[in-house]
Amino acid sequence: MTNRHDLEIFVDRLFANQRKTKEVVDLKNEVLSNLEARVTDYMENGIAYQSAISLAIENMEDIEALIDDNQKIYSYRFRHDLFQSALIYSLLAWIATIPARFLPNGIWVNTLLLCLAALTGAAYLSMSRHMKRYEKQTAVVNTRKLNQWSKWAWWLWSIFIVVISMYTFVIQYGSDLWFGRELSVDGPYSFYVTVMRYVIPMTSVIIPLLVQKAYKLTFQLEVNEP
């Protein structure tokens, strides 16, 4: 017979970092029962107790892939495709902010985006060269957490844009509103400066777009094992 206490200690450690939901508890009990059955079967075939435990553990399926919201994906391809998206987004943002180089803030934002595009491009090309070697690498990710992060990223970005837009508006037209003067834009250059003040912060949309892309990639790159 197996020593249930030894297996319970192992399973407790295995699930130590998991949430104590009903589904996880049920899975934990199922894993313990399966381990006991395997160890008993090995021992009935003449395998020593400790060796039977080692065999049972080695042949046990990864519990991360069994827990709800956890999904096995091709991790190398995931990073490769995410860098590709980062490259595309940063290039588009860089192109969009080229006209802003006439402004002091526009110069450093446009330069920063160019550096970001160069770095992500280098990483993407480097990973592309090793794709055949590492494309089968896998990892388990929590899709529920990624989905939550995606929603929070969009909410925080929206709040940021609203706040920065209101701040920009007040700085530019606050005195006119206070004294009841008519709001006006003095010529094409003034209009250009006004538009750029609102466009530049919009380039931060890269962040929520990448988080959302990461969430979508978990389904596109899911490992479908037979």
Domain-located, residue 170: yes
Which residue range forms the structural domain that includes residue 23?
Answer: 4-68
Domain-located, residue 82: yes
pTM greater than 0.85: no
Domain-located, residue 34: yes
The per-residue pLDDT for range 89-112, each reduced to its tens digit, is 999 999 999 988 888 888 999 999
The per-residue pLDDT for range 64-74, each reduced to its tens digit, is 555 656 778 89
Domain shared by 77 and 57, yes or no: no
Looking up tokens 């049972």 gives 56
Asked whether residue 86 carries a pLDDT value surpassing 80, the answer given is yes
Domain shared by 61 and 78, yes or no: no
